[in-house]
């Protein structure tokens, strides 16, 4: 059973997931990442190998039953879950420390049957289908009152932490609000209390009027920019220009346009930087728990938030300075990054 732990200095929770590796020697060989060299015949995510994953949670397919081929998008439990379902939260304190059971969920969304495709290359309809599945699964997980936050993320390339190359995203539901999400939400709340306006909406206005040099693209209700204080070279954020706190409340048109903006943005990175490793993360409002007095209740003024997607290419190494201070050194000014990304020639008709 994984365990969640919290110490007095860091103010962050850590998942201690002992099941994932055992001996010191397992860590020495970790760098090899043989997983990424697997061919379709061996790949657990390829059609025909459905039996190699745990039984599926959900799939989009035109014919055939669960765990048969002919699916378009498939959702399965992670075989080595960071968090698991369990009968109780087990919250407890030991002196300075806090702990709880590693309760949660960890799902894998297989984005396409095509082993060698990647999200940037998929047809728009297939990307839209994935967005539909993301929304559906997040909403399903939100029904569980123990889950305080549901994080959608994607690791692309070994350097970005992917252990399998077949295109996939992941969902982790956590029983506590993660520290960085809490800080973002607090910043938005504090601003709203003072101004009665969304901080992200105001930031979008500022960037679209004064900060044009950081903007990569602005169209169809979305704006893509490299943040003023980007921690990593070519880091990008996709913001909806319409105010919406919760990613899962997008309408059909908004999802369709997001598919297009996402594809265009990922293609720009792929073409400019030769298919770089990257992490993609959805920032959205936490799971509302409308029951004051219930353990775990945490009042969120959720409408203050504004969902967005972060894309973090992994082109530089994080070293002692960054780990020691939380201070990042970015050798690529976001204004330069945006200039290069704007100049990428995209194929016609996307």
| 165 part of the interface to a second copy, by CB under 8 A | no
Nearest residue (CB) to a second copy, 125 versus 275:
275
| 179 part of the interface to a second copy, by CB under 8 A | yes
Q: Torsion-angle region of residue 164: left (phi > 0), alpha (psi -120 to 50) or beta?
A: beta
The CB-of-250 to a second copy minimum distance in angstroms stands at 19
Stretch that binds a second copy, among 52-60, 62-70, 131-139, 225-233 (CB under 8 A): 225-233
The CB-of-345 to a second copy minimum distance in angstroms stands at 14
The CB-of-257 to a second copy minimum distance in angstroms stands at 23
CA distances 154 to 160, 170, 204, 283, Å, are: 9, 6, 25, 13
| Phi, psi values for residue 238, rounded to 5° | -105, 120
| Phi, psi values for residue 103, rounded to 5° | -85, 135
**In the range 251-290, which residues lie near a second copy by CB under 8 A?**
272-274, 276, 279-283
Given 58, 86, 153, 192, the residue binding a second copy (CB under 8 A):
153
Q: Which of 101, 106, 156, 168 is catalytic?
A: 168
Cβ contact 284:264 at 8 Å:
no
The CB-of-148 to a second copy minimum distance in angstroms stands at 11
| 206 part of the interface to a second copy, by CB under 8 A | yes
Q: Kindly state the DSSP code that residue 306 receives in the 8-state scheme.
A: -
Q: Which residue has the tokens 């995510």?
A: 45
The CB-of-252 to a second copy minimum distance in angstroms stands at 26
| 161 part of the interface to a second copy, by CB under 8 A | yes
Q: What is the dihedral of CA 129, 234, 177, 303, to 10 degrees?
A: -70
Nearest residue (CB) to a second copy, 222 versus 305:
305
| 13 part of the interface to a second copy, by CB under 8 A | yes
| 348 part of the interface to a second copy, by CB under 8 A | no
Collapsing DSSP to helix, strand or coil, 155 comes out as strand
The Cα–Cα gap between 167 and 132 comes to 16
Q: Which helix (H) or strand (E) holds 179?
A: helix 179-195
The CB-of-267 to a second copy minimum distance in angstroms stands at 15
In three state form, how does the secondary structure of 94-127 look? Answer: ECCEEEEECECEEEEEECCCCCCCCHHHCCHHHH
The Cα–Cα gap between 219 and 267 comes to 16
* 168 annotated active-site: yes
Given 1, 12, 193, 253, the residue binding a second copy (CB under 8 A):
12
| 5 part of the interface to a second copy, by CB under 8 A | yes
The CB-of-110 to a second copy minimum distance in angstroms stands at 16
| 93 part of the interface to a second copy, by CB under 8 A | no
In three state form, how does the secondary structure of 57-107 look? Answer: CEEEECCCCCCCCCEEEEEEECCCCCCECCCCCCCEEECCEEEEECECEEE
| 30 part of the interface to a second copy, by CB under 8 A | yes
| 28 part of the interface to a second copy, by CB under 8 A | yes
| 197 part of the interface to a second copy, by CB under 8 A | no
| 172 part of the interface to a second copy, by CB under 8 A | yes
| 201 part of the interface to a second copy, by CB under 8 A | no
Instruction: For the chain, give the longest Cα–Cα distance.
Output: 62
Nearest residue (CB) to a second copy, 71 versus 225:
225
Cβ contact 104:175 at 8 Å:
yes
**In the range 310-339, which residues lie near a second copy by CB under 8 A?**
310, 312-313, 315-321, 323-334, 336
- Which of the residues are catalytic? 168
């Amino acid at each position: 059973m994984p365990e969640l732990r919290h110490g007095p200095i860091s103010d962050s929770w850590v998942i201690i997931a002992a099941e994932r590796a055992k001996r010191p020697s397992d860590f020495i060989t970790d760098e090899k990442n043989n997983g990424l060299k697997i061919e379709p015949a061996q790949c657990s995510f390829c059609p025909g190998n459905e039996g190699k994953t745990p039984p599926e949670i959900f799939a989009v397919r035109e014919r055939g039953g669960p765990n048969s081929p002919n699916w378009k998008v498939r959702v399965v439990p992670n075989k080595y879950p960071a968090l698991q379902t369990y009968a109780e939260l087990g919250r407890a304190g030991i002196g300075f420390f806090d702990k709880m059971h590693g309760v949660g969920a960890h799902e894998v969304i297989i984005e396409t049957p095509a082993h060698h495709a990647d999200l940037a290359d998929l047809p728009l309809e297939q990307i839209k289908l994935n967005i539909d599945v993301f929304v559906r699964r997040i909403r399903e997980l939100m029904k569980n009152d123990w889950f305080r936050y549901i994080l959608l993320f994607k690791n692309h390339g070994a350097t970005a932490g992917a252990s399998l190359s077949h295109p996939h995203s992941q969902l982790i539901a956590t029983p506590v609000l993660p520290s960085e999400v809490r800080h973002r939400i607090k910043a938005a709340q504090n601003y709203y209390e003072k101004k009665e306006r969304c901080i992200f909406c105001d930031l979008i206005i500022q960037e679209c009027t004064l900060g044009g040099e950081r903007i990569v693209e602005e169209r169809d209700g979305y704006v893509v920019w490299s943040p003023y204080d980007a921690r990593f070279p070519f880091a990008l954020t996709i913001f909806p220009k319409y105010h919406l706190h919760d990613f899962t409340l997008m309408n059909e048109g908004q999802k369709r346009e997001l598919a297009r903006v996402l594809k265009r943005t990922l293609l720009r990175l792929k073409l400019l930087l030769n298919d770089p490793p990257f992490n993609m993360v959805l920032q959205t409002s936490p799971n509302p728990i409308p029951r004051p007095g219930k353990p775990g209740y945490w009042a969120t003024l959720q409408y203050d938030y504004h969902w967005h997607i972060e894309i973090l290419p992994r082109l530089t190494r994080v070293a002692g300075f960054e780990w020691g201070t939380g201070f990042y050194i970015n050798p690529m000014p976001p204004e330069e990054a945006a200039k290069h990304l704007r100049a990428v020639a995209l194929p016609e008709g996307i």
